[in-house]
Structure 1
Amino acid sequence: MSVDTELSVGQVAKRCGINISAIHFYEQKGLINSWRNQGNQRRYPREVIRRISLIKAAQQLGISLDEILLAFSSLPNSRTATKQDWADLSNLWKQTLTQRIAKMQKLNDLLEGCIGCGCLSMQNCPLYNPDDILEEQGPGPVLLNKT
């Protein structure tokens, strides 16, 4: 790789607006790759900037690092995503995001009322849950978990 296309960890951190420790973390998780130069210093291809930008964008959407890694594994030879790749990756996440949005909307709608947790502690619960009858539907906030 030519010297003008390789970046130090500091250059990547500055360009991406993240801490060096985040770069090491992403590398440890297998999200990005580096190599060592003759001085045993990490070097990154310039394309790592785009990959880190994708990671940050996906995280802002609530996509987990495991989901990001799974999506990146679909890229041939661990290459940087192209515009078409990004379209394909984002389509993979749309269903998950749609489900999360629906759950968040439901939580928002039920936030001041009962979510079916079985606590029996709310004085004005519109769905009061006598004798914890919702227990039969499963553990936790069963009304919130219904889709």
Structure 2
Amino acid sequence: MTQLAWNAKEATIGELAERSGVAPSALRFYEREGLIKSRRTTGNQRRYSRDTLRRVAFIRTSQRLGIPLATIRDVLGLLPDDRTPTPEDWARISECWREDLDRRIRTLQRLRDNLTECIGCGCLSLNRCTLSNPGDELASHGPGPRRLIED
């Protein structure tokens, strides 16, 4: 088992994988996609700066929130390259998600609040449901799940 020393300035791919809980193949993928960087030794081995560990954690957390990798890459591009990001740097880029997450939360709340009563009847005919959409009145507002779409 490979351990990343507390005072190590760089990590091998094995050390980074073990410490982050991310497979080496995923780390190589992140690198190919421009999400993280490494330097190469004279033997062509990858070495990652210690702050890459925090970047990987940010990537994984962002992915769990459903944020696309391209968006994550763009936001990571806002971090400084010449120094280790500070807590203030991380807080600043985390704000990039706030509006999107708030929108997703509102959508999920509408889904929760509206889907239960309609699906509860068992008919699954939203255009004829007298409880959820009497007379198919929502059709006049446009196509799709009108109660779930933000105005």
TM-score by length of 2: 0.78
1:34 to 35, 38, 41: 38
| Residue 75 (1) aligns with residue 90 (2) | no
CA distance in 2, matches of 1:56, 1:79: 22
**How do 1:128-143 residues align onto structure 2 when only pairs under 5 Å count?**
128=133, 130=135, 134-143=138-147
1:16 aligns with 2:6: no
**Which residue does 1:51 correspond to in 2?**
55
Aligned equivalent of 2:116? 112
Decide whether aligned partners of structure 1 residues 38 and 7 sit closer, same or farther in structure 2, where only a CA change above 3 A counts: same
Deviations 1:26-72 (A, max 9, x none): 11111101122111122211111111111122223333222211111
Q: Which moved more, 1:92-101 or 1:105-114?
A: 105-114
Query: How many percent of aligned residue pairs carry the same amino acid?
Result: 42
Kindly indicate which of the two structures has a greater share of residues assigned to helix: 1
Residue 105 of structure 2 aligns with which residue? 101
Consecutive unaligned residues in structure 2, runs of 5 or more = 1-7
Root-mean-square deviation (CA), in Å?
A: 2.6
Give the counterpart letter for 2:112 in structure 1: N
Alpha-carbon deviation of 1:101? 0.5
How many angstroms apart in 1 are the aligned matches of 2:112 and 2:142? 21
> What are structure 1's unaligned runs of at least 5 residues?
none
Deviation at 1:125, TM superposition (A): 5.0
Are residues 95 and 126 of structure 1, via their aligned partners in 2, closer, same or farther at CA, if it must alter by over 3 Å? same
Q: Give the letter aligned to residue 110 of structure 2.
A: K
The match for 1:121 is: 125
Matched positions, count: 140
Q: 1:114 to 1:78 in 2, by over 3 A?
A: farther
Question: What is the one-letter code of the residue matched to 1:56?
Answer: R
Q: Normalization by structure 1: what TM-score?
A: 0.79
